[in-house]
Amino acid sequence: MIVLGIETSCDETAAAVVDSDRRILSNVVLSQIDDHRPFGGVVPEVAARAHMEHTDHVIAEALEKAGVAFADLDCIAATAGPGLIGGVLVGAMSAKAIALATGKPFVAVNHLEGHALTVRLTDDVAFPYLLLLVSGGHCQLLIVEGVGRYKRLGTTIDDAAGEAFDKTAKMLGLGYPGGPLIEKAAEGGDPKKFNFPRPMKGRPGCDFSFSGLKTSVRRATETLEGTLEETVSDLAASFQTAVAETLVARTRNAVDMARASHPDIETLVVAGGVAANKAIGVALSDLAAQTGMRLVKPAPALCTDNGAMIAWAGLERFRLGQTDPLDFKARPRWPLDPDAPAAAFAGVKA
């Protein structure tokens, strides 16, 4: 079984081909970072126009590298939400056009499910498992019970972790994207120099909040005794450590909650762009060792947005007989657990 996956939900134009033997036959990602860097973040209109310009040739390159033609594909999968709706529409419409022209089935993939299922492509992880999904737009803890079956334990009530990294990097004058720049700046810094808060630590439940941490960084930059350049490494290291300890504290609660309802759960999966951060990875590894969980994390290239995760999620759904009509509507918001109770102040990020 061979599937083409298309991903255009944010600022990467991506396409990939995977097969049912868990082989990534190709994985082409065209980054738009240079287009958005002058603005300090992703501009939806700029992103959508870039997707329109590049999607066709990215798909063609993915097929060429995989050594397959449209006739060899079993289905066409594309992100149909959540994300910046202009970009989502470009990828979804491209996939629908290919499906219509070739007579192949179309599978609409939830972008978050792409992240959630990547470890089944890379490590063949069995259900159920506990998932920490940390990216620029989402920060959630979920029990992954099966394809399309998710139980949300916690979510962000304000900023996602990746969003906090980007905004903090901007305050520190590091530029965009914030995650890798803060990680690099933190390498020579003192993580104990600034006593930033660990939001929600010690409270019951698994919800996240990073807006107060971001505010503390801003206040620290406004009251520095020296120059920002002299202390940027310490600020970055202290912020990064605060995020890592916050993620660990909330995930520890989630482990207890997950085991209460699923005594057989033994794997902790971390996915999403922030999962590529080494310091956070070390902190979560320590947590896994302390709680007797097995930590699994995809390779960094598969943590950030890519077409392989969408192709695999599409393949997982297709082999269960799940396809979608060509009039499937793209969605800017698409929760993995639509039955989860409303989270106070979370709004659309729930």
CATH number assigned to the domain comprising residue 184: 3.30.420.40
Signed CA dihedral, 117, 118, 121, 127: sign only: negative
**Does residue 350 register a pLDDT over 60?**
no
State which of 263, 278, 297 marks the end of a domain.
297
Distance between CA 106 and CA 257 in Å, rounded? 36
Section 87-99 average pLDDT: 98
Percent of the chain scored above 90 by pLDDT? 83
Contacts (Cβ under 8 Å, ≥6 apart) of 82: 9, 88, 110, 111, 112, 137, 331, 332, 333, 334, 335
Q: pLDDT tens digits, residue range 21-35?
A: 999 999 999 998 888
Question: Between these two residues, 104 and 162, which has the higher pLDDT value?
Answer: 104
Tell me if 290 is assigned to some domain.
Answer: yes
Question: Do 277 and 338 fall into the same domain?
Answer: no
Q: What is the extent of the structural domain holding 82? A: 2-117+301-349
292/315 same-domain check: no
Does one domain contain both 158 and 277?
yes
The verdict on residue 198 lying in a domain is: yes
pLDDT at 346: 55
* Residue 343 pLDDT exceeds 80: no
Closest CA relative to residue 117, chosen from 107, 131, 106: 131
Query: Do 320 and 183 sit in the same domain of this protein?
Result: no
Question: Residue 297 pLDDT > 80, yes or no?
Answer: yes
Q: Same domain for 183 and 238? A: yes
Residue-averaged pLDDT of the chain: 94
Q: What is the pLDDT of residues 189-203, one digit of tens each?
A: 999 999 999 988 888
Q: What is the pLDDT of residue 248?
A: 96
For residue 271, is pLDDT > 80?
yes
Domain boundary among 281, 297, 313: 297
pLDDT of 329 strictly over 80:
yes
Q: Are residues 186 and 57 in the same domain?
A: no
pLDDT value of residue 125: 97
Together in a domain, 98 and 172: no
**In whole angstroms, what separates CA 260 from the centre of its chain?**
26
Q: What is the pLDDT of residue 345?
A: 57
d(CA 306, CA 292): 31
Q: In which band, very low, low, confident or very high, does the pLDDT at 237 lie, cut at 50, 70 and 90?
A: very high
Q: What's the pLDDT score for residue 58? A: 98
- Choose the weakest-confidence range: 18-32, 33-47, 63-77: 33-47
Give Cβ neighbours of residue 277 (< 8 Å, ≥ 6 apart). 179, 183, 240, 244
Pair 156, 238 in one domain: yes
pLDDT score at 230:
84
Same structural domain, 47 and 74: yes
Residue 152 shares a structural domain with residue 274: yes
Last residue of a domain, one of 297, 317, 341: 297
Averaged pLDDT for residues 323-344: 91
Residues 103 and 198 in one domain: no
Please tell me whether residues 139 and 106 are part of one structural domain: no
φ/ψ bin of 321: left (φ > 0), alpha (ψ from -120 to 50), beta (otherwise):
left
The answer on pLDDT for 171 being more than 90 is: yes
pTM: 0.93
**122 within a domain of the structure (yes/no):** no
pLDDT in tens, 279-293: 999 999 999 999 999
Answer whether residue 266 is part of any domain: yes
- Mean pLDDT, residues 161-189 taken together: 92
Reply yes or no on whether the pLDDT at 342 is more than 80.
Answer: no
Domain total in the chain: 2
All residues at 6 or more sequence positions from 225 whose CB lies less than 8 Å from its CB, including other chains: none
